[in-house]
Structure 1
Amino acid sequence: MFLYKIDDNLSLKLIELNDAEKVLKLIDASRLYLKEWLSWLDSNKTIEDTKAYIQGCLKGFAENNSLDTVILYNEKIVGVAGFTNINWSNKTATIGYWLGEDYQGKGIMTNVAKALTNYAFTHLKLNKVEIRAAVENLKSRGIPERLGFVYEGTIRQAEWLYDHYVDHAVYGILAGEWTQKST
């Protein structure tokens, strides 16, 4: 099992089937809040939906092309984050994340994204980490900006969000840049 301790209050744990009930409960508690930026909420309404999602995550982990974790804050599941795509040929990974509404504004996601980026470069020996967010999702865009990621451009109409397209801002950081920034 994957468990990555960030600090005394915060850690990442590989998502597992026995997390399904807690993850669904968190989604339901924050559904209206999350729906503004997440397109998958309508396809995750039942415990079966959540278990199917987790099984997909575990398949990606077993195939070594993703790493999806639950975020544990004071030992409670407060969100999900991880590498939604690891490209070993190009030595790149894309970080994806969401956080329950009640846990916003505590620096949790910035610390999680920092830990994942560090893990990508130090443990996985990748060369680049990307974070993408809807252009108008300023909270999500603030995370890579605070961490020193470089804004690389905009992908027009990158995602269908219920009844309209949204553009994605793409941020990236290279291993050498991260190492230089950290010293």
Structure 2
Amino acid sequence: MSIYNLQEIVTPRIILRPVQVGDEIALNAAVNRSLESLQKWMPWAKNSSLAATQNFVHASAIGWKNKTGNSFPMAVIYKETQQIIGTSGFNEDSIIAAGIYTIGYWLDIAFQGQGLVTEFVNGLTRYALDGLKAKAVHIQIDTANHKSIAVANRLGFISTLPTDQEQASNTILFKRVNTCLLPPMHVTWHK
């Protein structure tokens, strides 16, 4: 299965689907509601303008459509309201040819603390390992980002010993190679 054929991943409360033209305003509103938190961890959040969000959405949509993207951003949609509440997906640190998918994510501050990130990261991990037959799923997290470290720990990701480069950048690499012992959850994906 090719990631480019993905239409959506569905978890109990979340729908993940490729970012598409038309998502700009909802995404930009979520970014700006969460700006203080995002700017701690996400370098791209330094520019929270609508134009920056439009550029991201358009480049991402073209990458998905033309099957040329090196990252695979997905809108995080809260099923109950159909509201876009963040983005996730597999970022540019993924090495698709080697079967390694690196998950990145952020969530609107108004929706944090409800287990939603743990839920959709579980779904992405299952999709990569079972649907795409990945060899590994990674999450790279700043050592001071305790909320994201807690997500990786809840999902049984194993922290790897940092390399010199990781020590210099203050990140921890978390890894999973199978779905054994992931918290049980019903996940479907459509291609």
TM-score, structure 2 as length reference:
0.82
**Pairing partner for 2:33 from 22, 29, 33:** 29
Alignment-derived partner of residue 76 in structure 2 = 71
Name the amino acid aligned to 2:181: K
Which structure's relative contact order is higher, taking Cα pairs within 8 Å and 6+ residues apart?
Answer: 2
8 Å CA contact 2:9, 2:124 repeated in 1: no
Q: Are 2:126 and 1:121 aligned?
A: no
What count of residue pairs does the alignment treat as equivalent? Answer: 170
Cα gap change, 1:121 to 1:64, in 2 (>3 Å): farther
Report how far residue 47 of structure 1 moved. Answer: 2.0
Name the amino acid aligned to 1:174: V
Alignment-derived partner of residue 162 in structure 1 = none
8 Å CA contact 1:153, 1:171 repeated in 2: no
CA distance in 2, matches of 1:63, 1:50: 20
**Pairing partner for 1:133 from 126, 130, 141:** 141
Alignment-derived partner of residue 52 in structure 1 = 55
Alignment-derived partner of residue 80 in structure 1 = 87
Cα gap change, 1:36 to 1:150, in 2 (>3 Å): same
Secondary structure of 2:24's counterpart equals: helix
Cα gap change, 1:36 to 1:88, in 2 (>3 Å): closer
CA distance in 1, matches of 2:76, 2:9: 10
Report how far residue 64 of structure 1 moved. Answer: 5.4
Structure with the larger strand share: 1
CA distance in 2, matches of 1:35, 1:46: 13
Alignment-derived partner of residue 43 in structure 2 = 39
Report how far residue 60 of structure 1 moved. Answer: 3.7
8 Å CA contact 2:140, 2:174 repeated in 1: yes
8 Å CA contact 1:93, 1:128 repeated in 2: yes
CA distance in 2, matches of 1:108, 1:42: 25
CA distance in 2, matches of 1:143, 1:72: 19
Name the amino acid aligned to 1:72: I
CA distance in 2, matches of 1:54, 1:117: 23
Cα RMSD after superposing both structures: 1.7
8 Å CA contact 1:15, 1:68 repeated in 2: yes
CA distance in 2, matches of 1:153, 1:24: 36
CA distance in 2, matches of 1:111, 1:146: 10
8 Å CA contact 2:18, 2:73 repeated in 1: yes
CA distance in 1, matches of 2:30, 2:10: 21
Report how far residue 95 of structure 1 moved. Answer: 0.1
Cα gap change, 1:2 to 1:168, in 2 (>3 Å): same
Secondary structure of 1:93's counterpart equals: strand
